[in-house]
């Protein structure tokens, strides 16, 4: 029996030595130390021994069990330590590796210029309002004194989405929406995208941006219009900038003007930026036509107003000397990174 015990112990220790993983260890434990294990079985066989032999044998079995148990625990511990070391090795970070460059985003040049413009007009007491890009014929043309078949519709080649539903060709539709919801005194600007079926080239895009302005109050005159727009031009282009008001035509303003500023690049001598003219056209404006006031329920005998529409894209390309308007819309990172 003693011999048998010795054999079992040797076999157990050998099995522990050869164990490859924790499953092997567990098998050894079950096979030798478990309830039905070999060492446990030997204890049960002790019934056949004499009363003197029993305690001696019992002690031997218990010592053997303790030995196997200790060897097993040691093996398990050793395997855990190895596994941990391996894991640490795999997880080491090479701190000498070059870091990933995080690029932070920044404002698009159009937004930078727009923010400046909003600041200027807000300091003059204007509110910023929003209008829909999909408009009705009613707001984009009819209420602005451009009835169907009016020749002025040719000035703005329109994208129609359905009968009487279109992509707004001008932010002027916002004038009407504002006058319908606000009572004078009104002082608002409405920046936004506008759409015209233009061929794409260096100076034309079917999508571009305008900032509409509207002032309606008692006693508003052309002098107010000139004062506000001159102030705006000086703040955007610098105080030495000359401002020219040219007579023009818009169906919704009377009289109407177009405003040019002296080229900030050449000071008016003529250069590449102003295409040799010395002047750059930046906006259209005029005194709100009485028909427009009337269509919004405002009495033109009591109130008057002026409106203007500034081209944001032109302002941006001239400020940054961008030679092609398409660059503003292509979102080429190499271009945008320069601002």
CB of 252 to ligand PHE, least distance (A): 6
Site for ligand PHE contains 172 (CB under 6 A):
yes
Which residue is at the shortest CB distance from ligand PHE? 309
Site for ligand PHE contains 284 (CB under 6 A):
yes
Q: Which sign, positive or negative, has the C-alpha torsion 26, 31, 32, 37?
A: positive
Smallest CA-to-CA distance from 323 within 260, 275, 269, 287 is with 275
Q: Please, what's the largest Cα pairwise distance for the chain?
A: 131
Site for ligand PHE contains 126 (CB under 6 A):
no
Residue with tokens 């478990």: 34
* Residues 140/171, Cβ–Cβ less than 8 Å: no
What SS3 string covers 22-77? Answer: HHHHHHHHHHHHCCCCHHHHHHHHHHHCCCCHHHHHHHHHHHHHHHHHHHHHHHHH
Site for ligand PHE contains 309 (CB under 6 A):
yes
Nearer to ligand PHE, 37 or 213 (CB): 213
Nearer to ligand PHE, 172 or 316 (CB): 172
* Residues 9/67, Cβ–Cβ less than 8 Å: yes
Nearer to ligand PHE, 195 or 308 (CB): 308
For ligand PHE, which residue of 145, 178, 253, 317 counts as binding (CB under 6 A)?
Answer: 253
3-state DSSP call for residue 132? coil
Nearer to ligand PHE, 109 or 309 (CB): 309
Nearer to ligand PHE, 24 or 258 (CB): 258
Distance CA 318, CA 93 (A): 50
Nearer to ligand PHE, 16 or 283 (CB): 283
CB of 332 to ligand PHE, least distance (A): 28
Peptide bond preceding 76 in cis form (omega within 30 of 0): no
Residue with tokens 């920044």: 106
Name the one range near ligand PHE by CB under 6 A: 19-27, 87-95, 128-136, 278-286: 278-286
CB of 316 to ligand PHE, least distance (A): 17
Binding positions for ligand PHE, 151-170, rule CB under 6 A: 170
* Residues 175/212, Cβ–Cβ less than 8 Å: yes
CB of 281 to ligand PHE, least distance (A): 11
Distance CA 218, CA 241 (A): 30
How many chain residues are in contact with ligand PHE, going by CB under 6 A?
10
Name the one range near ligand PHE by CB under 6 A: 66-74, 158-166, 231-239, 281-289: 281-289
Site for ligand PHE contains 250 (CB under 6 A):
yes
Q: Going by C-beta distance under 8 Å and a sequence separation of 6 or more, which residues neighbour residue 235?
A: 120
Q: Phi first, then psi: what are they for 71, rounded to 5°?
A: -60, -40
Nearer to ligand PHE, 26 or 254 (CB): 254
For ligand PHE, which residue of 65, 179, 308, 328 counts as binding (CB under 6 A)?
Answer: 308
For ligand PHE, which residue of 131, 184, 286, 305 counts as binding (CB under 6 A)?
Answer: 286
Smallest CA-to-CA distance from 312 within 69, 117, 143, 176 is with 117
Site for ligand PHE contains 305 (CB under 6 A):
no
Site for ligand PHE contains 285 (CB under 6 A):
yes
Binding site for ligand PHE (CB under 6 A): 170, 172, 250, 253, 284-286, 307-309
């Amino acid at each position: 029996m003693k011999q048998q015990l010795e054999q079992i112990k040797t076999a157990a220790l050998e099995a522990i030595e050869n164990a490859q993983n924790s499953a092997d260890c567990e098998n050894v434990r079950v096979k030798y130390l478990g309830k039905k294990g070999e060492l446990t079985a030997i204890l049960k066989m002790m019934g056949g021994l004499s009363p003197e032999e029993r305690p001696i044998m019992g002690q031997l079995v218990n010592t053997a069990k303790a030995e196997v148990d200790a060897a097993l625990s040691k093996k398990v511990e050793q395997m855990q330590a190895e596994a941990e070391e391996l894991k640490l090795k795999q997880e080491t970070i090479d701190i000498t590796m070059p870091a990933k460059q995080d690029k932070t985003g920044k404002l698009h040049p159009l937004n930078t210029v727009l923010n400046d413009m909003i600041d200027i007009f807000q300091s003059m007491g204007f509110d910023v309002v929003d209008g829909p890009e999909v408009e009705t014929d009613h707001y984009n043309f009819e209420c602005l004194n451009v009835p169907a078949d009016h020749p002025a519709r040719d000035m703005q080649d329109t994208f129609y989405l359905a009968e009487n539903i279109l992509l707004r060709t001008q932010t002027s539709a916002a004038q009407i929406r504002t006058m319908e919801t606000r009572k004078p005194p009104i002082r608002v600007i409405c920046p936004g995208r506008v759409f015209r079926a233009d061929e794409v080239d260096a100076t034309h895009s079917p999508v571009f941006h305008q900032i509409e302005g509207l002032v309606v109050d008692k006693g508003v005159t052309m002098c107010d219009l000139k004062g506000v727009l001159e102030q705006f031009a000086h703040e955007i282009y610098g105080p030495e900038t000359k401002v020219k008001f040219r007579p023009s035509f818009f169906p919704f303003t009377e009289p109407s003007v177009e405003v040019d500023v002296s080229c900030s690049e050449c000071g008016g001598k003529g250069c590449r930026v102003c295409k040799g003219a010395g002047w750059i056209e930046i906006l259209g404006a005029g005194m709100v036509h009485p028909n427009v006031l009337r269509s919004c329920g405002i009495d033109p005998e009591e109130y008057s107003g002026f409106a203007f529409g500034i081209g944001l894209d032109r302002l941006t390309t001239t400020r940054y000397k961008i030679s092609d308007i398409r660059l503003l819309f292509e979102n080429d990172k190499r271009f945008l990174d320069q601002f």
